[in-house]
Amino acid sequence: MAGQPEQDIPGTPRGGLADLPGGLAEAIRDTALAIAALLGEATDTGAAVPGSEWNIGEAAAHLAQANELMAGIAAGQERSHGDGTPQSIAGANERALAAFDEREAGPLAGMIVAQADAYLAAMDRRATEGTVVTPLGTMSPGVLGSYLLTHMLGHGYDLARALGRPHMIDRTRVDLALPFLITAMPRVTDGAAAAGLNARYTIRLWSGARFGVTFADGAVTVASQPPDRPDCTIHIEPVTFFLMALGRRNPVAAIASGRVLAWGRKPWLAPRFPGLFTAP
């Protein structure tokens, strides 16, 4: 199908916990524990989360539900959550929250950690990789782990901001999130924004990771290897890339800060790039 990523993305596992990309299991567990520690400092779960319609209790409840969903998917359960578009997933999130009453920090912290561990346990029981069906389409269980990590990091960042504490996103965790972000990009492309676009991008992170994004009459292909002759190369600090990908960082501010550089035959294509996608 047009727009599906190539299958040679580095870090895609063969199956089982031992075959997860190096450090992913630890990053999932440590991120869940870091979020639980943040929630341990939350004296008012009704306080607002900056830039979100949710308060702390709602964001934590969503994380607990999402971790449980992904653990169930890894265990082989068929689970429905929207139709694969960011808009439908947002609607499914709201319906799930409305049907779930827990908003206390302690119980939710425990659920977030327990369900992260449940994903890892499900992976440990898998004899073969296969594929699973997720809210953002079919992927390997290992890429689902990258999805789980990405999701926790995004909302963990929100909770850290709400509580005035340091976030847990770093270069290592961004690299571990990349398999999911690369897989998801074609599925969250804004068709109207990309209509008629013909462009070849190379995305290079300061950590050394890189990949290619090609638009042909608006149809997008994402590959682990950059194109031979990119029109525009974007060189970006990893945490900035991650936050921009999740809609948590303003691209103009990031460029102004010097954390994003661009060159090539058409460097003016760089500012357009973030607007070609809708954050999942």
CATH of the domain at 162: 1.20.120.450
pLDDT higher than threshold 70 for residue 111: yes
Same domain, 193 and 114: no
Give Rg (Cα) of the chain: 18
Could you tell me the pLDDT band of residue 112, with boundaries at 50, 70 and 90?
A: very high
Could you tell me the pLDDT band of residue 4, with boundaries at 50, 70 and 90?
A: very low
Same domain, 42 and 178: yes
Inside any domain, residue 215: yes
| pLDDT (mean) for 186-194 | 93
Structure confidence at residue 2 (pLDDT): 31
Same domain, 196 and 177: no
Could you tell me the pLDDT band of residue 126, with boundaries at 50, 70 and 90?
A: confident
Same domain, 118 and 83: yes
Structure confidence at residue 21 (pLDDT): 82
Q: Residue 222 is part of which domain span?
A: 189-276
Same domain, 211 and 159: no
pLDDT higher than threshold 60 for residue 13: no
The answer to whether the CB of 162 falls within 8 A of the CB of 47 is yes
The answer to whether the CB of 217 falls within 8 A of the CB of 198 is yes
**Full-model pTM:** 0.90
Side-chain half-sphere CA neighbours of 87 within 13 A: 2
pLDDT higher than threshold 90 for residue 10: no
Q: Can you spell out the DSSP letters for 74-113?
A: HTT-----SSSSHHHHHHHHHHHHHT-----HHHHHHHHH
**Stronger pLDDT, 256 or 31, i.e. the higher one:** 31
Determine the Cα–Cα distance for residues 24 and 164; give it in Å rounded to an integer: 27
Residue 252 amino acid letter: V
Structure confidence at residue 7 (pLDDT): 33
What digits encode the pLDDT tens for the residues 201-222? 999 999 899 999 999 998 999 9
What digits encode the pLDDT tens for the residues 30-57? 999 999 999 999 999 999 999 999 999 9
Structure confidence at residue 22 (pLDDT): 86
Same domain, 28 and 59: yes
Inside any domain, residue 3: no
Determine the Cα–Cα distance for residues 162 and 142; give it in Å rounded to an integer: 30
The domain that holds 266 is classified in CATH as: 3.30.1050.10
How many domains does the chain fold into? 2
Same domain, 130 and 235: no
Average pLDDT, the chain: 90
Determine the Cα–Cα distance for residues 162 and 167; give it in Å rounded to an integer: 10
Q: Is 229 exposed, middle or buried (0-12, 13-18, 19+ CB in 10 A)?
A: exposed
Same domain, 58 and 149: yes
pLDDT higher than threshold 90 for residue 18: no
Same domain, 175 and 200: no
In total, the chain counts a number of residues equal to: 280
Same domain, 157 and 124: yes
Mean pLDDT check: name the lowest of 47-61, 67-81, 144-158. Answer: 67-81
- Contacts (Cβ under 8 Å, ≥6 apart) of 13: 19, 20, 21, 129, 140, 141, 142
pLDDT higher than threshold 60 for residue 8: no
What digits encode the pLDDT tens for the residues 224-238? 999 999 999 999 999
Could you tell me the pLDDT band of residue 128, with boundaries at 50, 70 and 90?
A: low
